[in-house]
Structure formats: structure tokens, C-alpha cells
Structure 1
Amino acid sequence: MKKGLSLKSKVIEDQNISYRIFGEGDIDLVIEMGLGAVAGEWWHIAEQLSKQFAVLLYERGRNISKARSPKNIAEELHALLMKLPCKGKITFLAHSQGGLYAQQFARIYPDMVYGIVFVDPLSANDNTYKSVFLTAKEQKKSGFNKSENFVNMKKLASCHLGPVIKLIMRKAPPFYYYDQFSPEAKKYILDELTKAELHDVALEEYRLAHEEKEICQLKEKGDFPKIPIVLITHESEFEIKEIMEFGQTTKEFAVKVEDLWQSLMQEYLTFSDQSILLRANNSGHYIHLTNFEVIMQALQWIS
């Protein structure tokens, strides 16, 4: 078995958290994955990054008896790091909804964070889409609300329809964007996606990432630590084509969706006077799978 395929686990505040450290020495890079993602999606990336960093790749806890709020998730990560070799500052590589958790961690533990690379991050102002796309039909076509997919997957998993889930997911992200996963990684990803608890926790994470009382402080810019930020966003023309294809929308509507998405992400640039924007050419939302070079460019800029 390759080194990246064996996960350890620790119980942190009633959460059984799976993780793996890639590289040697004290952890200096933490990968904060997107909503509903599992470690297999990132194994090959963490292995490449381990040539320059000591990388922590972990899966957030799945016990929803404790609220899956950004604050609780950040505190659980901190407790995990305190049990691992982590004595210096860390840099975050945070994708999608993981961006929200990385910025929450930086606000609570500013002395621990050296910098953050936000990769197509979720904004604390994501609910703005509801005032831009007024009807339920428009909101659904916009793709902003991610909960419906997880509801459907949870139903399939709860009915023990694992083979159906695997059949669907072989043609969906992350496989849609990257088909070079090792056989072990493919199996791990597909097996995890058949577990109802994965989709259950994703729904709770999504709900609380849009609950005003949980995210209001994440909209404030003044109390964000003075750290370097790299914001990596997808290429607009690439994403407009995908919105038109998967949402069956007009180009005019797709442009409206994309303009809002980009404007929300670019709010992160206002959080620090040490911030830069990078665009990932020929990439949609899964930039880490389609344009690894820009990830390395961002990490080198922060370093």
C-alpha cells in the first residue's frame, strides 16, 4: 500500500478525525478540503507537496451531534494540531467551503497562521445569490445552492444503493475533472461516497455555513490577521460554458452567475494588504485537479 493510502485517526472533541501527514518534520501546510470531499481526492496532491512541505491532510469529523459550524470545525482542527508535530506557523491550502474554515481558524488562532491560499473559496456572503436570483427556478439553475445534491445522495446511501452511487459518481466530480487517481484512491473515494453519514455531515456543514449567526463575524475585514493571501479563482470563460452545459441556461444567465461568483470570491482580497489574485487557466472549480501549477505558484509566493 502506498504511504498516502493509510489514514490514522484521533478522537477530537467527540469527533473521530482521520488524517495523514505527508513529508517530514513539523506540519507547515494544512489542506482544508471542500464540502463533501474525502482524502482520496487529495492524496496525489499531498504527496507532491510533501517534497517541499510537511502536509496535514485530514477529513473533518462526521458526528453531527456537535454543530458543524465554522467555529467548531476550526477548534477541532486546532485540537488535532496540538496532538501532532506542529510547533511553528502553518499555511492553509483551502478549497471551496474549506476557505471559510481556514479564515475562521485564522481569526481564532492568528498567531498560528503564516498565510492562506484560497482556491475558489466559499464566501461568507454566499447568501447574496438569493437576492440576485429571485425565483426558486433561477436559484436552482444558478448552482449556488449545493444542498439538493447531498440530499439525493443521502437518500441513495440510506437505501444502501451503493452501486448506483458509484455509477453516478464515476462521471461526476472529482472524476469528471481527473481520471488519473490510483486504483486505491478511486476505491477509497467511491466507498466513502456510499456512506450516508458523509452526505449528512455535508448538509449540516452547508446549512451552518449559510446561517447568519454562525458566519456574521466572518464578513468583518478589520479583525482579520495581517497575513499574506493568495486567491486563486477559476477561468470565467471556462466556467460560463460549464454553467450553460450543466444548468441548461442561456449565456446571459451564465454570465450573471459567474459575475456574482467572482465578485464574492474577490472579497477575500480586501482582507489583507498582502494579497494577490491568480487565475487558473482552463480550469473550473476543481483547480487543484486541473491546474496544479498555479497551486505551486501560490505557495511559492507565500513562502
Structure 2
Amino acid sequence: MHYKIFGSKIVDIVIEMGLGACIAEWETLARELGEDHGVLVYERAGINHSGKSDKERTPTNIAKELMNLLDEIPHDEKLVIIGHSQGGLYASEFCGIYPEIVKGLILLDPLSTEDNRFKKELTAKEFKRSGVDKSKNFKVLETLTRLGMKGFVKRVMCQAPPFYYADFSEKQKEDILNSLVNTTHLRTCREEYRLAHDDAALKNMVSKENYPDIPIILVTHSSEEAIKENMEFGRNIRPFATRIEQLWQEIMKEYLGYSKRAIWIQAKKSTHYMHLTEPEIIMESVKNICS
């Protein structure tokens, strides 16, 4: 498992990244948090520089693999867990299985166990237009890579997230782009996505009814900014983009029912990559949990 620790050698913050994300994407924020903490950022098995696992890429298996990693790393008795996007699903499962070592959970635009509502409540045509399904993107990238079009992929992806939201160093940029032409990485992303929406895998997760009463800070994106992006990049009309956004916010807010100590913050200026556009929200959330 490839990982980096920023700041103190004793870890007290763990970052569970989104689907396909690399350490390079989180390096700037991790360094800032590392001024007062020990921050662990790791790449899940099969992702970028990490070797593959023989375990299925279910949320429960991924949470247990994180615990195996922590067993090898000096860490505080209580940890703050930060989960972004699909990483939020894994972070929440980790906290559900190991509440005794959790100080608090910070969820940034998290995937939830209710994400299949998109497919159930939208028609097939609407679902395709919505931009919700991320698995196809990785399949296209894998196909282009296999056809020897790595240079083309890198040129196109330079204009897409996360590059759309941040200026990375040349080294960081190279690392992220290389992951996007790595067939093991791309295949793992597709498997993670599939099993994050698999009913059997989701049923095995710690349920809302059995969830520990831990502090949870749920941070979701700006609705207006998300609607604008859906209209611009998805070429959808405002009523449809608004409908998708309302459902997305509703699904994420499922986490507010996981704990009596859950609170909700909505980012004012950010869409999905708030750790790049409004890192101060994450910094303040960490302070709130640690105070």
C-alpha cells in the first residue's frame, strides 16, 4: 500500500480519497493540516502506486485494509477520518466497524449507500444525461490506453478535474496523469465503483440503525454552482440540472441520520472538489472536532 505521512510521525488524521484519486491531488491540503497534525494519505490497493489486493473491492474490505495499514503505522488512540466522494463511503464504513479509534468523521460530498436512487428514480435516458455514472469514464480511458493513445488521454485530461480546479506542480501533474493511463488503476476504479453500488455489498455494511454515535461533519457542495456546471458541461437545461442536484443533496444528507452529533455545512463557492477550492472548510472542520 503506497502512502505518505505529512507533519507529525504520529498519525491523527486519515484521508480517504475519492474514486481514482492520487496522493498528489491532496498533497497541498495534507501539508497544511500537517502543520498541527500527523496526516496519513494513502492509495487504496490497485490504485496508482499501490499493489493489487486479492480481496474484492467492497467498502467493507477496503475499510479493513485501511485498518491493516494503520496497524503498521504509529497513530493516536483516536483519529479524525476525512472521506471525499466515494472515499466517504469507505470512511463511514471504517468508522462504523472501528468506532473505538474514531474521534470524528468529516464527509466531503460523500457517496452514500442510497446512491442507487439515481438509477431507480431516473429513466435510462435521464440517468445517462445526468453525468452520475462515473464507471464509463474509466472504461473509455482504459480502451484508449490499450489502443496506444496515452498522449491523447493526457492532453484531454489536463483540461478535466482535478486540473480544472487547481494548479499542480509538474511532479504532481505527471503522477496524476500517469495514473490515468495505468490499466490496473483504471480497472480497479471500475471495480470499486461497481461494488460501491452492489446491493449485496451495501447490505454487508454497518447500517444507519447500528451506527455509532460519533461526531460527523457533512460538507456538501454549493447547489447553485453544481447546477451551473451540470448545465455547462452536461449541456442540460436548468430544470433537469436542478432536479439532479436536489436528489444528490438529498442522498448525501442521509448521513445526518447516522448520528445525533451530525451537522451539515454547505460550501458556498465549491462544487465537488472542495478540498481544492475551499480547503479552509476542511481545516475548520478538523479544528471543530479536535477542540
SS in 1 for 2:218: strand
- Length-normalised TM-score, structure 1: 0.91
Match of 1:121 among 110, 116, 131: 110
Letter in 1 for 2:4: R
Confirm or deny that 1:246 pairs with 2:252: no
Residues 105, 217 of structure 2: 8 Å contact kept: yes
Confirm or deny that 1:213 pairs with 2:213: no
SS in 1 for 2:254: helix
- Which digits, 9 at most, give the CA deviation of each residue in 1:224-282, with x for residues without a partner? 11110000000000000101111111100001000000000011111111111111111
- Which digits, 9 at most, give the CA deviation of each residue in 1:72-127, with x for residues without a partner? 11111100000011241111111000010011111111111111100000011100
2: CA distance, partners of 1:158 / 1:77? 31
Confirm or deny that 1:43 pairs with 2:27: yes
Matches within 5 A, 1:186-197: 186-197=173-184
SS in 1 for 2:229: helix
Match of 2:166 among 178, 189, 194: 178
Q: Which runs of 4+ in 1 moved over 3 A?
A: none
Which consecutive residues of structure 1, in runs of 5 or more, have no partner in the other structure?
1-16
| Farther-moved stretch of structure 1 (218-227 vs 139-148) | 218-227
Aligned twin of 1:156:
144
Match of 1:55 among 39, 47, 55: 39
Letter in 2 for 1:129: F
Residues 26, 88 of structure 1: 8 Å contact kept: no
Aligned twin of 1:11:
none
Letter in 2 for 1:189: I
Match of 2:210 among 193, 200, 223: 223
Letter in 1 for 2:56: A
Letter in 1 for 2:14: V
Letter in 1 for 2:159: K
Aligned twin of 2:256:
269
Aligned twin of 1:165:
153
How large is the Cα RMSD of the aligned pairs?
Answer: 1.2
Residues 32, 98 of structure 1: 8 Å contact kept: yes
Matches within 5 A, 1:68-83: 68-83=57-72
Letter in 2 for 1:210: H
Aligned twin of 2:271:
284
Letter in 2 for 1:190: L
Q: Identical aligned pairs, as a percentage?
A: 45
Matches within 5 A, 1:137-156: 137-156=125-144
1: CA distance, partners of 2:64 / 2:158? 34
Confirm or deny that 1:98 pairs with 2:87: yes
Residues 221, 271 of structure 1: 8 Å contact kept: yes
SS in 2 for 1:88: strand
- Length-normalised TM-score, structure 2: 0.95
1: CA distance, partners of 2:60 / 2:114? 16
Residues 15, 42 of structure 2: 8 Å contact kept: yes
2: CA distance, partners of 1:92 / 1:212? 25
Confirm or deny that 1:19 pairs with 2:13: no
SS in 2 for 1:89: strand
